[in-house]
Amino acid sequence: MRTSGAGGLVALLFATAACSTVTIEANRKPNDPTTLAPVAIVIHQEALHAAFVQLLGKSLLRQTERRKIPAHLTIITGAELDEQATIRAALAGMRGMISLAPAGGKAHLWDARAFVVTDGVPKEAEPIWSARLDVGGGDAIDQTRNFAEVMMRDLVDEHVLEGVHGELPKE
């Protein structure tokens, strides 16, 4: 089910046979035709288990590959001496950044935002897309795969990222 309302608010519930679900509420900045590519995906690990975050990163990269989106991944663990320098390095040559962070330190609830990058600096005050994702059921592998699929599909369908649209065949 996909509904759209004022300000581009989108709600999507996606359930799979693997018993995990991902709910996304996303908002595309109205009247902004900007499409981001190549894009840096930056995951803020915070207090989450490193293995889960790495699995999520691999799932996101797999989805970008399948959708033909040039991307690379950086995970911010919190151990970096200069987090901003790490992010600047990740953004070199990128036109966009997708930033992901657990909401309230919980592995099932995530905040995601997409920004235009100019000269290696994201315009963080003006996200062109933002979302809250809620993941439930299934195991970590199912959760991360479905999270990546639902998020990337929304980003492409909303023309934030240029790539293969719609649902892809199962792997």
CATH of the domain at 17: 3.40.50
Whether residue 144 is contained in a domain is answered as: yes
36 neighbors 84 (Cβ within 8 angstroms): no
Give the closest residue to 133 by CA, choosing from 158, 166, 104, 156. 104
Evaluated on CA atoms 71, 72, 78, 83, the torsion sign reads negative
**Distance separating alpha carbons of residues 151 and 26, to the nearest angstrom:** 9
pLDDT at position 147, please? 92
**Distance separating alpha carbons of residues 171 and 154, to the nearest angstrom:** 19
Whether residue 169 is contained in a domain is answered as: no
Range of the domain at 135: 2-157
Count of structural domains, the chain:
1
pLDDT at position 17, please? 40
Whether residue 167 is contained in a domain is answered as: no
Beta bridge partners of 98: 41, 114
Whether residue 170 is contained in a domain is answered as: no
97 neighbors 39 (Cβ within 8 angstroms): yes
Question: Taking CA 17 as the corner, what is the angle to CA 11 and CA 23, rounded to the nearest 5 degrees?
Answer: 20
pLDDT at position 81, please? 80
The conformation of residue 161, written as its DSSP 8-state character, comes to B
Single-letter residue type at 86: T
pLDDT, tens digit only, all 171 positions of the chain: 333 333 333 333 343 345 889 999 999 999 999 999 999 999 998 878 889 899 999 999 999 999 999 999 999 988 888 888 899 999 999 999 999 999 976 778 999 999 999 988 888 888 999 999 999 888 888 989 999 999 999 999 999 998 877 677 677
pTM, full prediction: 0.84
pLDDT at position 136, please? 86
pLDDT at position 169, please? 66
Beta bridge partners of 135: 22
